[in-house]
Structure 1
Amino acid sequence: MLQVAFSQLKTHSRRFIAITLAVLLAVAFLSATLMVNASATASLTASLGQSYAKADLVASPTAAVPLTAASAAAAARTPGVAASYPLRQEMVPVAAGTATLAGVLRNLPASPQLEPLALVNGSWPTSAGQVTVDAKTAAARHLSVGSTVTLGGGVAAGGHDGRPKAESGPAASGTPDAAVAVQPAVKATVTGIMAASADPQLSGLAQLAGTEATLDAVAGPDAHYATIAVELAPGTNTAAAATALESALKLPAGQVVTPQQLTSATVKSFTGGSDHLTIVLLAFAAVALLVSGLVVSNTFSVLVAQRTRELALLRCLGASRTQIRSSVVLEALVVGVAASVLGVLAAVGTMAAVIALLRRNPDYAFATLGVPASSILAGLTVGTLLTVVAALVPARSATRVAPLAALRPADDASVHNAAGRVRLGIGITLILVGGAGLVAGGLGSNLLLAMPAGAASFIGIILAASLFVPRLVALAGRLARPAGVPGTMASANAVRNPRRTTATASALLIGVTLVTMMMTGAATARQAFESQLADHFPVDLAAAAVPGTPSFTSAELAKAAALPGVDAVARLKVVGTVTAGGQEFPAYGISSTDAERLLGNPQNRPTAGTVVLPKGTTAATASLVDGGRTTRLGVRDSTARGTSALVPLDTFPAAEAGNPVLAGAADQVWIKVDPSLDGTALASLRTDLAEALHVDENQVDGAVLEKAMFNQVINTLLLVVTGLLAVAIVIALIGVANTLSLSVLERTRENSLLRALGLTRGQLRGMLALEAVLIAGVAAVIGSVLGVVYGWLGAQSALGSFTTVVAVVPWGQVLLVVAIAAAAGLLASVVPARRAARLSPVEGLAVD
Structure 2
Amino acid sequence: MKRSLSDHVPSVLVATLSAAFGVSLLEITSVLATVISADNVTGSSTTVGLLLSIVAIVFIVIAVYVGAIVTSNTFSTIIAGRTRTIALMRLIGSSAADQRRSVAREGFMVGVVGAILGAIVGTLVTMALVVISVSSGFIPMLGYSYLQPVLFLPIITVVLTTWLASWIGSRRVLQVSPMQATGVAIEMSREESGGRRGRNAVAIALFAVGIGFLVLGMLVGLVSPLGVLVGVVGGLLSFTGLVLGAHLVMPVALRLTGRMFGSSATARLAAENAVRYPERSSRTTIGLVIGVTLVTMFAVAVESYQQMIRVAQESQPEVYQGVDQTLSVTVIVFSVLMGFSALIAAVGMVNNLSMSILQRTRELGLLRALGFTARQVRSMILAESAQLTVAAVLVGLVLGIFYGWAGAQSLLGSIQGSPGFVLPVVPLALLGILVVAAAVLTLVASVAPSRRATRVAPVAALAVE
**Structure 1 residues 733 and 314 mapped into 2: Cα distance closer, same or farther (>3 Å)?**
same
1:476 paired residue among 239, 242, 257: 257
Indicate whether 1:816 and 2:433 are aligned. yes
Q: 2:182 & 2:147 partners in 1: Cα distance?
A: 48
Write out aligned runs for 1:680-829 (5 A).
707=321, 709-802=322-415, 803-804=418-419, 805-806=421-422, 807-829=424-446
**Structure 1 residues 357 and 519 mapped into 2: Cα distance closer, same or farther (>3 Å)?**
same
Q: 1:424 — aligned with what?
A: 200
The two structures have a TM-score, normalised by structure 1, of: 0.51
**Structure 1 residues 846 and 401 mapped into 2: Cα distance closer, same or farther (>3 Å)?**
closer
Kept in 2: contact 1:301–1:394 (CA 8 A): yes
Q: 2:50 & 2:118 partners in 1: Cα distance?
A: 29
Displacement, 1:830?
1.9
SS in 2 for 1:370: coil
Q: 2:30 & 2:109 partners in 1: Cα distance?
A: 30
Deviations 1:479-508 (A, max 9, x none): 1125x3322221121122222111111110
SS in 2 for 1:808: coil
SS in 2 for 1:300: helix
Displacement, 1:397?
2.0
CA RMSD of aligned residues (A): 2.2
Kept in 2: contact 1:37–1:282 (CA 8 A): no
Q: 1:497 & 1:474 partners in 2: Cα distance?
A: 13
Q: Give structure 1 stretches of 5+ with no counterpart.
A: 49-198, 202-262, 538-639, 642-705
Whose helix proportion is higher, 1 or 2?
A: 2
Q: 1:17 — aligned with what?
A: 9
Q: 1:453 & 1:717 partners in 2: Cα distance?
A: 24
Kept in 1: contact 2:25–2:337 (CA 8 A): yes
**Structure 1 residues 413 and 485 mapped into 2: Cα distance closer, same or farther (>3 Å)?**
closer
Write out aligned runs for 1:651-662 (5 A).
none
Q: 1:755 & 1:723 partners in 2: Cα distance?
A: 45
SS in 2 for 1:366: coil
**Structure 1 residues 762 and 417 mapped into 2: Cα distance closer, same or farther (>3 Å)?**
closer
Q: Give structure 2 stretches of 5+ with no counterpart.
A: 222-226
Q: 1:14 & 1:425 partners in 2: Cα distance?
A: 39
* Aligned partner letter, 1:811: L
Kept in 2: contact 1:36–1:721 (CA 8 A): no
Displacement, 1:413?
7.0
Q: 2:182 & 2:413 partners in 1: Cα distance?
A: 55
Kept in 2: contact 1:43–1:368 (CA 8 A): no
Indicate whether 1:505 and 2:122 are aligned. no
Kept in 1: contact 2:18–2:118 (CA 8 A): yes
Deviations 1:345-401 (A, max 9, x none): 000110111111111212324366431323442233112111101111111222345
Between 1 and 2, higher relative CO (CA 8 Å, sep ≥ 6) is seen in 2
Indicate whether 1:385 and 2:160 are aligned. yes
**Structure 1 residues 753 and 399 mapped into 2: Cα distance closer, same or farther (>3 Å)?**
closer
2:78 paired residue among 303, 318, 327: 303
* Aligned partner letter, 2:213: G
* Aligned partner letter, 1:313: L
Indicate whether 1:288 and 2:63 are aligned. yes
Displacement, 1:761?
2.3
Indicate whether 1:454 and 2:235 are aligned. yes
SS in 2 for 1:362: coil
Q: 1:794 & 1:418 partners in 2: Cα distance?
A: 33
SS in 2 for 1:822: helix
**Structure 1 residues 416 and 337 mapped into 2: Cα distance closer, same or farther (>3 Å)?**
closer
Displacement, 1:407?
6.3
**Structure 1 residues 836 and 368 mapped into 2: Cα distance closer, same or farther (>3 Å)?**
farther
2:120 paired residue among 345, 358, 371: 345
Kept in 2: contact 1:780–1:822 (CA 8 A): no
Q: 2:189 & 2:275 partners in 1: Cα distance?
A: 14
Q: 2:31 — aligned with what?
A: 39
Larger Rg: 1
Displacement, 1:14?
2.7
* Aligned partner letter, 1:268: T
Q: 2:46 — aligned with what?
A: 268
Deviations 1:540-566 (A, max 9, x none): xxxxxxxxxxxxxxxxxxxxxxxxxxx
Write out aligned runs for 1:121-140 (5 A).
none
Kept in 1: contact 2:193–2:278 (CA 8 A): no
Q: 2:142 & 2:255 partners in 1: Cα distance?
A: 50
Whose strand proportion is higher, 1 or 2?
A: 1
1:467 paired residue among 224, 248, 251: 248
Q: 2:67 & 2:434 partners in 1: Cα distance?
A: 18
Kept in 1: contact 2:228–2:410 (CA 8 A): yes
Kept in 2: contact 1:412–1:499 (CA 8 A): yes
Displacement, 1:418?
8.6
Q: 2:63 & 2:251 partners in 1: Cα distance?
A: 26
Q: 2:464 — aligned with what?
A: 847
Displacement, 1:321?
2.5
Deviations 1:308-357 (A, max 9, x none): 22222222222223222211111111111111110000001101111111
Q: 2:452 — aligned with what?
A: 835
Kept in 2: contact 1:277–1:717 (CA 8 A): no
1:355 paired residue among 121, 130, 134: 130
Q: Could you tell which deviates more after superposition, 36-45 or 790-799?
A: 36-45
Q: 1:406 & 1:800 partners in 2: Cα distance?
A: 58
Displacement, 1:467?
1.1
